[in-house]
Amino acid sequence: MAQIVHLADRSPQVTPDQLLAGFHPSYRFGEVSFDTYIPDPAHPSQAQAVERLRRFAASLGRGSGSGGGFLGGLFGGGRKRAAGPAGIYLDGGFGVGKTHLLASTWHAAPGPKAFGTFVEYTNLVGALSFRKAVDVLKEYTLVCIDEFELDDPGDTVLMSRLMRELADAGVHLVATSNTLPGSLGEGRFAAQDFQREIQVLAEQFEVIRVDGEDYRHRGLSAAPDPLPDDQVVSTAEANFPDAGVLAVDDFDALTAMLSRVHPSRYRELVKDVDVIALHDVKTITEQATALRFVVFADRLYDKDVPVVASGIPFDDLFTQEMMHGGYMKKYFRTVSRMTALVREGQLGIAEEK
């Protein structure tokens, strides 16, 4: 029988070294490759992206620096930036396999290398300081940045500056997002400094468009209805009899905890959880809580934690105003991912990795 824990009672701590050690593809993408990415014949851009990234990964390491890890990054020398774009930017809709392609590039590239989400890199800067983060990462052959969604001018300036310094040091970059780099922030912030940073960012990349439909829902039944509250735990136990740790939480208590714990600690929060049972899921009405839940959902999805829940369906997790506001892309991604995890938790239908 699974050990039952309550995430709302946890207060995880993460050191800078632990943050650095986590900069690799998650369990879900731990063994993917270009060969395991199955392009949709109806969308030729997918096969084209695979071949372009194969060539890109094969070209890395030719004349690159020797690396050196954390101490080497602090005290070693840098490389000069090559001519042309510093890297590749994968643009496309939700669920077309951009993260799969990004992780495949990481696996195929020589090391040292880093793989993380935009939020994880900003957390790293906060933990190490900007200069130390640059000194560490500039010794890497490749830096992969997933879910590059810039919703805050301050974070945009920070990340753009980081990427410029890495590119100048000869580091190759690959990023994914649901918005072309020249359009990031469009319609949300009009500050001249923000727009200037966006333009500089766009110039760093060769843009590759990846078209297609969301594979998380391709050919599958609609998301299951929420369960009666008194069946949530029993269903989780019945569907996952071999689970070692079952997290059982009231949704209000969980979101209250997320507001107290920094998002950089969410990976540690769920690191031992095999399945999660949520009681009384509700529509989130506060923007700050919603953005925290976005990061939490990403960590659940990274670890492939099935979800069993009562309350509202996850396509009603955010208000309609949120789903049409400045952070809409984050929220649509979260709805897509949570729906996939609930389908796995309640119907036993796991998505292909």
pLDDT given for residue 80 in this prediction: 53
User: Could you tell me where the DSSP H helices lie in the chain?
Assistant: 16-21, 44-59, 69-75, 98-108, 118-128, 130-137, 153-168, 192-202, 232-239, 251-260, 266-269, 287-303, 320-323, 328-347
**What whole-number distance in Å separates Cα of residue 47 and Cα of residue 128?**
39
pLDDT given for residue 185 in this prediction: 52
Q: Which residues contact 326 (CB under 8 A, 6 or more apart)?
A: 151, 187, 188
Residue-by-residue pLDDT tens, the chain, 353 positions? 899 999 999 999 888 888 888 899 988 899 999 999 999 999 999 999 999 999 999 998 665 444 433 333 333 344 555 555 778 988 887 778 899 999 999 999 998 999 998 888 988 898 889 999 999 999 999 999 998 766 667 787 788 889 889 998 999 999 887 655 555 555 444 445 555 666 776 777 888 888 887 665 555 556 789 999 999 999 999 999 999 999 999 999 999 999 999 888 899 999 999 999 999 999 999 999 999 999 999 999 989 999 999 999 998 999 999 998 878 878 888 998 899 999 999 988 776 54
The continuous run of DSSP H or E covering 117 comes out as strand 113-117
pLDDT given for residue 72 in this prediction: 36
Domain 31-61+84-210 in CATH 3.40.50.300? The answer is yes
pLDDT given for residue 329 in this prediction: 78
pLDDT given for residue 214 in this prediction: 61
Q: How is the chain split into domains, by residue range?
A: 3-13+218-347, 31-61+84-210
pLDDT given for residue 83 in this prediction: 53
In this structure, are residues 161 and 124 in contact, taking their beta carbons and an 8 Å threshold?
no
Q: What is the DSSP letter of 80?
A: P
Coil vs helix vs strand at 109: coil
**What whole-number distance in Å separates Cα of residue 295 and Cα of residue 298?**
5
